[in-house]
Amino acid sequence: MTRRLNRLAAIVGVGASKFGTFEDKLGRELFADAFLEMMNSIDRGINIKDIEAFYLGSAAPLSFEGQAHLAPIIADQVGLANRPATRVEGACASGGLALREGIIAIASGLYDIVLVGGVEKMTNLPTSEVTDVLAAFSDTPYESRVGITFPGAYALMATAYRHKYGLTDEQLMAVTIKNHQNGALNPKAQFNCSISDIMISRLAKIKEKGQPVPDWSSEMDFLKDLQANPVIAWPLKLFDCSPITDGAACVLLVAEHLAKSFTETPVYVIGSGQASDYSLHGRKDLTTLDGAKEAAHQAYDMAGVRPEDIRMAEVHDCFTIAEIIATEDLGFFRQGEGGRAAEQGLTARHGTKPVNPSGGLKAKGHPVGASGVAQVVEVWQQMRGEAGARQINRDVHLALTHNVGAHGATCVVHIYERR
Amino acid sequence: MTEAEFTCASFYSALHEKRLMGTRCKKCQAAYLPPRQICLKCQSTEMEWVLMKGEGKLVTFSTIAVGTSSMVVEGYDRYRHYCCGIVELDEGLRVSARIVGVDSQNPESIEIGTPMTIEFPEAEGKSSILTFRARQAC
């Protein structure tokens, strides 16, 4: 059965903090940066008093910064105390879930103007403790307990994928190289640099220290060197993994009839889908996320569009294998062909199906609860032609976001149209 | 004899006593591992424990260099990797497990489909971590 929203939500403003490592900032302060940028992005402005409700995606603020009950604290930080403020949690899909709750709240008729945000302040903890927090997004007594980390869970999928479809290291590396090329053009990105930039800076340091100079003649050479790119969870190496990041993002949603009073070019959310899935050992096929396929099906069906209609997508590339699987689950490429598509450049910024022009989670950074909202920030900029140096060179009137919690136990897909 | 409760705690106390136990629906015979209280097929709560042979084959794996803190305590790090995987039991059910008896430093040598047998470690504290050993000599 095709499900419809009683009325659509339109995005009329977006904002994001810089992504990276910010020792001296709390999550709420990063959120305030994103909020101020969002307020300034609304073409015809808004009175803050008109914002009626707030949905916040944040995955584990209690573990990461010792702060539970984050939504009212953030609401207060940006001047929205007294409004309903609700935190939504779905691991790394928390941001996407918050967006969906905002859309549903508007569709229900309860509110006309809703703030949706996401935030995570991850870098207070040492890597070993971050590893434990992220591992707990999987099934703790049956998966994390035997030693499966978060990269480990995606590595299990990558190994299964290699076995079934013959995935090569070069195909994974093509995703890394492409996303870093895009990140190099994104001033908000944690890695605002290409793999080549990283390689050159490493070479300079090595020469400075008088150490033996490695024989790297290309980005692939660099990525194939296990000294430069060590194994994290085989077959995944350091540069297959998104980084640990602090960051925040937010968007303002309004009921469709109000959209044009805020801007001449709103972006409407025309499709929304969400699904959950079993733990990895409960799945028949480890080379695809059934939850993502189901969420995508719901979103396409609601929007009345097909995968081939989508002009660009921000997908959940927490690991390179995740992007390859995502492009198949979303119907952009047939199963088993996502790796080749990446290698052929089809997902590059000026390819036939641009994926992660923002740099993706890989280069832009992955503040887990914020990522699902930050994807929307990129979509908005690309659809309005405001993406600067990384602007896709053809009109983007239809776009998609794909946000995944843990190893696919939560999946959210949204489709956007500029009207 | 009354059945132990269909809980995670019961599963691990059986494992501690060297038995890998799943649950089976008395109504429709569907079997589950990890154990379940509610049958996914018929929603019955009439479950019984069923002993698994503890043999199967490797479905997928990873050798992990940056481990969970409990694995770091065991001495694993970027120079000493450990292996995790999913094992499909002869009974058709799948479990996530620690994999031993393979060369974790040389993942290319580990093969999907390798026959696996459950191993019940003798060391105190490790007995509640589900572990499978590769059957061929390695």
- CA A249, A254, A259: angle at the middle one, nearest 5? 115
The answer to whether position B31 is within a domain reads yes
Instruction: State how many domains chain B has.
Output: 2
Are B66 and B114 in a shared domain? yes
The answer to whether A12 touches A266, Cβ cutoff 8 Å, is yes
Round to whole Å and give the CA distance between B120 and B20: 10
Same domain as B37, residue B90: no
- Which residue in this structure is represented by tokens 């060590």? A230
| Among the listed residues A299, A290, A309, the one whose alpha carbon sits nearest the alpha carbon of residue A352 | A309
User: What DSSP element (H or E) covers A418?
Assistant: strand A410-418
B105 and B37 part of one domain: no
CA distance B17 to chain A (A): 18
Which residues span the domain enclosing B64?
55-134
Q: Which residue has the tokens 């303002």?
A: A252
In a domain, B2, yes or no: no
Question: Residue A63: enclosing H or E segment and its boundaries?
Answer: helix A61-65
Whether B20 contacts chain A with CB within 8 A: no
On chain B, the residues whose CB falls within 8 A of the CB of A279 are: 96
Q: What is the pLDDT of residue B1?
A: 47
Q: Are B75 and B126 in contact (CB under 8 A)?
A: no
Q: Are residues B47 and B64 in the same domain?
A: no
In a domain, B3, yes or no: no
* Contact B95/A at CB under 8 A: yes
Q: Which of B71, B67, B60, B138 is nearest to B100 (CA)?
A: B138
Residue of B nearest to A139 (CA): B96
Cα(B87)–Cα(B89) distance, integer angstroms: 6
Q: A140, A148, A283, A286: best mutation site toward chain B, by most B Cβ within 10 Å?
A: A148
Interatomic CA distance for residues A268 and A255, integer angstroms: 10
Looking at the fold, whether B32 and B92 belong to one and the same domain comes out as: no
Question: How many distinct helices (H) and strands (E) make up chain A?
Answer: 14, 11
pTM metric for this prediction: 0.97
> Taking CB atoms and an 8 Å limit, are B66 and A141 in contact across chains?
no
Predicted ipTM? 0.96
Question: pLDDT tens digits, residue range A27-48?
Answer: 999 999 999 999 999 999 999 9
One domain for residues B75 and B130: yes
pLDDT tier, A82 (very low <50, low <70, confident <90, very high otherwise):
very high
Q: Is the pLDDT of residue B124 over 70?
A: no
Catalytic residues of A: 92, 366
Per the CB < 8 A criterion, the answer to whether A394 and A89 are in contact is no
Residue in B20, B23, B62, B95 to test binding to A, most A beta-carbons within 10 Å: B62
| pLDDT number for residue A158 | 98
Compare CB distances from B129 to A146, A152, A230 and report the shortest one's residue: A146
B105 and B61 in a common domain? yes
Is there a contact between A159 and B129 if contact means CB atoms under 8 Å apart? no
- Single out the residue of A262, A257, A302, A294 nearest to residue A416, CA to CA: A302
Same domain, B100 and B129: yes
Residue B83's domain is classified under what CATH number? Answer: 2.40.50
B61 and B129 co-located in one domain: yes
Percent of chain A with pLDDT over 70: 100
Taking only the tens place, the pLDDT of each residue in A268-316 is 999 999 999 999 999 999 999 999 999 999 999 999 999 999 999 999 9
Q: Do B78 and A160 touch (CB under 8 A)?
A: no
User: Are residue B41 and residue B66 in the same domain, yes or no?
Assistant: no
Distance CA B86, CA B73 (A): 23
Are both B44 and B60 inside the same structural domain?
Answer: no
